[in-house]
Amino acid sequence: MNTTKSTDARTNSHRRTLKRQQTNQIATVVITGVAGLVVLPIILVILYIFINGIGAISWEFLTAKPRNGMTEGGIMPALLGTLLLTFGTGIVCIPLAIGAAIYLAEYAGDNRLTRWVRLAIVNLAGIPSIVYGLFGLGMFVLFLNFGTSIVAGSLTLGIMTLPVVISTAEEAILAVPQEFRVVSQSLGATRWQTIRHQVLPHAIPGIITGVILGLSRAAGETAPILFTVAAFYLPDLPQSVFDQTMALPYHLYVIATQVPGMPLEIQYGTALVLLLLVLSLTLIATVIRTNMRRRRDW
Amino acid sequence: MQAKISVQNVSYTYADGTEALKHVSLTIRANEIFVLFGPARSGKTTLLRLFNRLSDLTPGADYRGTILVDGQDVFALGVNVTDLRRRIGMVFAVPTPLPGSIRGNLTYGPHMAGIRDTALLNERIERSLTQAALWDEVKDRLDHPASRLSGGQKQRLCIARSLMLEPEVLILDNPTSGLDPISTSMVEESLYELKQQYTVIMVPHSVQQGARVATRAAFMLDGELVEIDTAERMFKHPKDQRTEDYITGRFG
């Protein structure tokens, strides 16, 4: 009687152990599977666009103007326009964002200005991109009278990009060890000398990463440029920053929805170029970050 | 002897309400090795960081009293803080070389002060490293990264780095905390050399170390100055019971 009971107990405990192990295995499989699922869409999207679009890519496609109602020729004006806009976005966004990040990380006390700056950044990050577009239309195109132009588009994209770049730059600056600042100032360096010589050089890789990620987002946006700069069809290149230009994301939207009889291959080809542009920016950011991290000696 | 640093009735409370110093008054004389000792959190580092106003980096604190360096109030309006920090060098408990070469570490302070004359800098590099007892070990690899030095070498580099600015006062806040006995004795030996030229203020790693190096000493406890005297009397015949208890190892 007694033996049976203890055997029962042992079998029960054995069974429970088995069950725990099974649950553990199932959990591992499920969690790994879910994580894998995250990678799947990005691979599918890239593959799908690559397979359908690669046929359209040629030297002519990249360097020729669109012809015959955009159904033939290339995408050169749109590609160049997007590069110009990305560059302009950088000019607007980089000084402002780095200045703000240095202020927040190095100078900001707990005062009203700091609270306003932080509130502004959080809110800027939450504004839908179409609202930026309308703001750019009202503020830069109409009120400041820049017209539908590269200037107006760059300013709009630049403001939209600010929050991302400010936050990554601030994090990069805060990641520089506090001792460097204390030691530097104990050696008679001023606050600015300390920032210039001991903080920024070590924060630069992180800041560059943030800038590139911000710019790659700006390069792919449609809504902010819709009313501020993008031209429906303008094969001639812009002559000044106050001219309109074509841009890849908007061009893609146009040829995909607004032009009847558009060959599918050109649509996919355009999408592929835009995708590669944005992905290569992200790749550059990653390479810079890994390289700099390996080189630092602290 | 004349007062190099004079602390008059100084109280200091951190932003979080911690009372780090309570009515501390003491005088540090020129060309002595002044040892400031006491248990952890007794206010030693807080006091030292007021001398060169590194305390400015911890905002929100409440400071009362007066600190005079050569008779000049360091917190007076119009005091040139960077100049004050060049006159009062500081070495920290953890060796903190800046990223870069040995030479880069040494020339950083002078560069920030606008001194760029290579001949002058090289002369100072040799003298500072010699005074910090490091010259022989690094003279052939001044352009190597400072991060590859051993812990003891790093700390001596930090001492040499402070000496590059030819300070009048050198503050050493527990400079041998992480060092092995050999490195410790090398740092201690360099102190006797330094005393000829500088006023040295030091928080020792242990009471024994304090007794070995001090000219005069002060014992601090809970933010108060308990006793200040010559090293001879302080470590052999302390007047205060608390000092005696601490020195003989009954607490702390």
In a domain, B252, yes or no: no
Q: What is the CATH number of the domain that holds A85?
A: 1.10.3720.10
Mean pLDDT (whole number) for A286-291: 84
Mean pLDDT (whole number) for B1-15: 89
Task: Give the model confidence (pLDDT) of B15-50 as tens digits.
Answer: 998 999 999 999 999 999 999 999 989 999 999 999
In a domain, B125, yes or no: yes
In which residue are the tokens 């030297």 written? A59
pLDDT at A4: 59
In a domain, B148, yes or no: yes
Q: Which chain A residues are Cβ-neighbours of B98 within 8 angstroms?
A: 180, 183-184, 198
Q: Is the pLDDT of residue A181 over 90?
A: yes
In a domain, A173, yes or no: yes
| Closest CB to B52 among A186, A189, A298 | A186
Q: Which residues on neighbouring strands pair with residue A67, listed in sequence order?
A: A72
Q: Which residue of A has its CA nearest to B85?
A: A188
Contact (CB<8Å) A186/B89: yes
Contact (CB<8Å) A189/B109: yes
Mean pLDDT (whole number) for A252-262: 87
pLDDT at B251: 72
| A2-17 per-residue burial string, b: 16 or more CB within 10 A, e: under 16 | eeeeeeeeeeeeeeee
ipTM of the prediction: 0.90
Please state, in angstroms and rounded to a whole number, the distance separating the CA atoms of residues B86 and A193: 14
Q: For helices A200-220 and A150-174, what crossing angle results, to 10°?
A: 140
Please state, in angstroms and rounded to a whole number, the distance separating the CA atoms of residues B26 and B24: 7
In a domain, B14, yes or no: yes
In which residue are the tokens 């943030």 written? A210
Q: What is the DSSP string of B8-49?
A: EEEEEE-TTS-EEEEEEEEEEETT-EEEEE-STTSSHHHHHH
pLDDT at A230: 86
In a domain, A120, yes or no: yes
Q: Is the pLDDT of residue B227 over 80?
A: yes
Q: For helices A264-295 and A76-102, what crossing angle results, to 10°?
A: 30
| Closest CB to A193 among B52, B112, B147 | B112
In a domain, B104, yes or no: yes
Contact (CB<8Å) A180/B98: yes
CB B164 within 8 A of CB A189: no
CA B175 to chain centre: 8
B136 falls in which pLDDT band (50, 70, 90)?
A: very high
In a domain, A191, yes or no: yes
Q: Which chain B residues are Cβ-neighbours of A189 within 8 angstroms?
A: 82, 108-109, 112
In a domain, A129, yes or no: yes
In a domain, A171, yes or no: yes
Please state, in angstroms and rounded to a whole number, the distance separating the CA atoms of residues B152 and A32: 47
pLDDT at A6: 66
Q: Is the pLDDT of residue A153 over 90?
A: yes
Q: Are strands B72-73 and B62-69 parallel, antiparallel or unpaired?
A: antiparallel
Mean pLDDT (whole number) for A268-292: 90
The total number of structural domains in chain B stands at 1
The pLDDT > 90 percentage for chain A reads 60
Lowest mean pLDDT among A103-112, A273-282, B162-171: A103-112
| Closest CB to B54 among A186, A190, A297 | A186
Output the average pLDDT for chain A.
90
Look at residues A281, A256, A245, A273 and name the one whose alpha carbon lies nearest to residue A58.
A273
Q: How far is A111 from chain B, CA to nearest CA, in Å? A: 12
pLDDT at B252: 56
Q: Which chain A residues are Cβ-neighbours of B90 within 8 angstroms?
A: 186
B219 Cβ contact partners less than 8 Å away, ≥ 6 residues apart: B37, B38, B225, B226, B227, B228, B234, B238, B240, B242, B243, B246
B176 falls in which pLDDT band (50, 70, 90)?
A: confident
A189 interfaces chain B, CB cutoff of 8 Å: yes
Among B54, B58, B82, B144, pick the best mutation site for testing chain A contact (most A Cβ within 10 A). Answer: B82
Chains A, B: CB contacts within 8 A come to 62
Q: Is the pLDDT of residue A193 over 90?
A: yes
In a domain, A32, yes or no: no
CB B199 within 8 A of CB B229: no
Q: Give the residue numbers spanning the domain of A224.
A: 80-248
Output the average pLDDT for chain B.
91
Q: Which chain B residues are Cβ-neighbours of A193 within 8 angstroms?
A: 112
In a domain, A279, yes or no: no
Please state, in angstroms and rounded to a whole number, the distance separating the CA atoms of residues B177 and B205: 6
* Strands of the B72-73 sheet, one edge to the other: B19-29, B3-13, B62-69, B72-73
The total number of structural domains in chain A stands at 1
Contact (CB<8Å) B112/A179: no
In a domain, A272, yes or no: no
| Closest CB to B161 among A187, A189, A202 | A187
A131 falls in which pLDDT band (50, 70, 90)?
A: very high
CB B212 within 8 A of CB B188: yes
Q: Which residue of B has its CA nearest to A186?
A: B85
Task: Give the model confidence (pLDDT) of A1-54 as tens digits.
Answer: 455 566 777 788 888 888 889 999 999 999 999 999 999 998 999 999 999 999
User: Residue A30 — left, alpha, or beta (φ > 0 → left; ψ -120 to 50 → alpha)?
Assistant: alpha
Tokens coding A8: 């029962």
Q: Give the residue numbers spanning the domain of B170.
A: 3-247
Q: Is the pLDDT of residue B14 over 90?
A: yes
In a domain, B139, yes or no: yes
Q: What is the CATH number of the domain that holds B178?
A: 3.40.50.300
A180 interfaces chain B, CB cutoff of 8 Å: yes
